[in-house]
Amino acid sequence: MSRQDVYAEVENLRELCENTTKYIWENPELSGHEDLGVKHYSQLMEDNGFKVTFDEKKPTAFVAEWGEGAPVIAIMGEYDALPGLSQAVSAEKQSVREDGVGHGCGHNMLGSAAAYGAIAVKNELEKEGLKGTIKFFGCPEEETLNGKVEMVHHGMFDGCDIAISWHPMNANMVLQESYLASASCRYYFHGTASHAGFAPQNGRSALDAVEIMNVGANYLREHVVDRTRIHYSTHGDAFAPNIVPPEADSYFYVRAPHISDVKDTLARLNKCAEGAAIMTETTVDIELDSGCCEMLPNIAYTDLTQKVLDEIPAIEYTEEELAFAKSLQDTLNPVMLKRAQESFEQDGPMFIGTAHRDLWQKNPINASTDSGDVSMIMPMNLITAACWPIGVAPHTWQATACGGSTIGQKAAVWAAKAIAGTAYELVTNEEARKEIIAEFESKKPEDYEPLLGPARL
């Protein structure tokens, strides 16, 4: 028996995997409200011989377990969607849902590939009579970057040896040291209302404080470590212009290469808020929402995963699929598209083959994932698959369109093979597994703790 038999198991499940990918795409749900997704995946895993257990504190999270003994392999799936990204399978922007929700980050593919990858490796291990435990984790609320952080805090991953994760992207590869740490924080300013024309001297504007804080944040951007990102949004329209606004708030994200950098920048951002409150004679309440760590690299695990990816046949696209991908590219900024094509070193609309380290080193991902916290408690990899054309970014309508097409369905099957093959290798290759765990033990932070706001503890 070999990994080729595992890939054959995935092929046997191809139609089911594609159907689930389509079903979740057609029924998108926002973070924390993934009721249909949870019902579908938990029933799917139960029907395929897994024992399903739900988290009492987080009903949209669950674990499906099969097997016995070591090693215990954690395979993580996600299923939440995004607001404002409903889209038809079309190269023209066209919403198809009144609520505007859509899978612009490809989690319809993510969950499906992870589930069927877990089922495929379970089927093969069962045939061969091999010992080991496969756990599929249904992970909610990735888009708010706290789902897995809370799951870690609740102890759901306790007892697992190694984790496997993946995410839709533009290329087929395994990442290392790419995703950034992140934290989100809300700032609530409180002032005094007054008539803006008759008695402005009596007013203390909370909205002024928001604006002054933003000025401070803009100056702060020059004095942070490389790859730090500071994003914000605000609500300041609750009062008419002739009222000095007594209430206003800002919502900030901070990203940086390491969680320590995030904490340092966040502390300085808090001072911007406090200074703005002093200047405007208002008060401010600061509320940490949540945060997630960067990915802890594991070279031995990356090398093992790369070996698996290199032997999986490239995805074959039809002329119609390539034409659709090209039509999506035609909607992009031509300068940005050319830059992406040069970076990925491919002329066609879809990435063909498997990339190696040099590609992800040239294309660092300045996004974040709550999977980073899982990498702090056990070895974890992060595979990507070409789910949308080169140049298309996640969190766009173009990504939603592609995720609902046969391009996305084929990518999910490829990713399922990558997951199943990696899991099989981890179970059967004890020497490689020990090397991966030893590297993790030498790198793991001794002071790790989940970064969660009071409302999430």
Mean pLDDT of the 147-170 span: 96
Give the distance from CA 325 to its chain's centroid: 23
Q: What proportion of the chain, given as a percentage, has pLDDT over 90?
A: 88
pLDDT for res 404: 98
pLDDT in tens, 247-268: 999 999 999 999 999 999 999 9
Answer for the pair 378, 163: CB distance below 8 angstroms, yes or no.
yes
> What are phi and psi for residue 192, nearest 5 degrees?
-130, 125
Measure the CA–CA gap between 163 and 152, rounded to whole angstroms: 13
pLDDT band at residue 455 under the 50/70/90 scheme: low
pTM of the model: 0.94
User: Taking a C-beta distance cutoff of 8 angstroms, is the pair 334, 146 a contact?
Assistant: no
> Do residues 241 and 195 make contact, with C-beta atoms less than 8 angstroms apart?
no
pLDDT tens-digit series, residues 105-129: 999 999 999 999 999 999 999 999 9
Spatial separation of the C-alpha atoms in residues 45 and 35, rounded to whole Å = 16
Task: Indicate the pLDDT class of residue 456, thresholds 50, 70 and 90.
Answer: low
Q: Work out the burial of residue 343: count CB atoms within 10 Å of its CB; fewer than 13 is exposed, 13-18 middle, 19 or more buried.
A: middle
The structure tokens 């889209």 sit at: 87
Across the range 76-84, mean pLDDT stands at 98
The phi and psi torsions of 231 (rounded to 5 degrees) equal -115, 155
In this predicted structure, the answer to whether residue 457 has a pLDDT above a threshold of 60 is no
186 close to 237: Cβ distance less than 8 angstroms = no
Which residue, among 368, 375, 371, has the nearest Cα to 443 in the 3D structure? 375
| Residue 455 φ/ψ, nearest 5 degrees | -70, -15
β-strand pairing of 132-139 with 72-78: parallel
In sequence order, which residues have a C-beta less than 8 Å from that of residue 406 and are 6 or more positions away? 18, 318, 321
DSSP string, 298-367: -HHHHHHHHHHHHHSPPPP--HHHHHHHHHHHTTS-HHHHHHHHHHHT--SSS--S---HHHHHHS----
